Amino acid sequence: MDLIVSVNKPKDISSHDAVRKVKKILQAKKAGHTGTLDPMATGLLIICTNRATRLADYFSSLHKEYRAIMKLGEATDTQDACGRVIAKEDPSNIDSDRIKSAVNSFKGRILQLPPMFSALKHQGKPLYKLARKGIEIERKPREVNIYQIELLDINIPYVEFKAICSKGTYIRTLCDDIGKKLGVGAHLFELERTAVGQFCLSESLTIEELKSVDMEKLNCKGIYTKDNALSWMPELKIEMSLVKSIKNGVPIEVSRLSGISDEIKSARGIRIKSPGDELIAVASYRADKDTIKMDVVFA
């Protein structure tokens, strides 16, 4: 079955290990996640199976929501609690107004320098493997978007906050940068991903709960068909005469279609449905040719 599963990843296992467990439970031929969570982090991990793995990019591009606790006064080489402390300062004289001002200053479009301890690759090798050998590679800052950041609690040296951010944002780097802004250093102490786009943690399954799901019914929370998982995309139902062309990946001229709205033309993706309501492709509008281009086809 081609499924998308919303999993509540536990602490101290990698995202890869979570995928492996889900793949085994569902007896899937293929499986992959749509955005890494570090082993120390918990929370929402979207996993695609079989042909649904071809949709992974659509889910990875969605905004993410996190609940985080950072510890002021200690900077680490990994920017989180798993690393070695490389600098210490006394944070006891930092008042709540300074913390609030520093945290709020990172709202909006900002530049982040990707950490060395990350899965980003340099000449085919993950940066974290180089970092473990004491090798540091020059990285370029990347623009990310912090749509919302909200202080939840301050109990020095711990500061809890919620952040909604774009793809590619490192919350541990955000904590490190806030610590630098305050002049005392900081690192990510605890992290939970609470939402990915319209998917929320409360509607996810633990790995243990997934083991007891009746796969014949598929009526429980946390398990989605391709069509349901892409429900935020506008739908375009086509005539039977076009089904064969679409399944062959042929772009369709807009003049041959009806019901092409501005929403469809501006959408990140379009669900192409057969007259029988089957999802047969995910497409996008090409303004230069006034066509609907098939990006992913389920033949």
Residues known to be catalytic: 38
Write the DSSP assignment of the chain as a string of letters. Answer: --EEEEEEEPTTS-HHHHHHHHHHHHT-S-EEESS---TT-EEEEEEEEGGGGGGHHHHHTS-EEEEEEEEETEEETTSBTTS-EEEE---TT--HHHHHHHHHTT-EEEEE---SSSS-EETTEEHHHHHHTT-------EEEEEEEEEEEEEETTEEEEEEEE-TT--HHHHHHHHHHHHTS-EEEEEEEEEEETTEEGGG-B-HHHHHT--TTT--STTEEEHHHHTTTS-EEE--HHHHHHHHTT--EEGGG-S---HHHHH-S-EEEE-TT--EEEEEEEETTTTEEEEEEE--
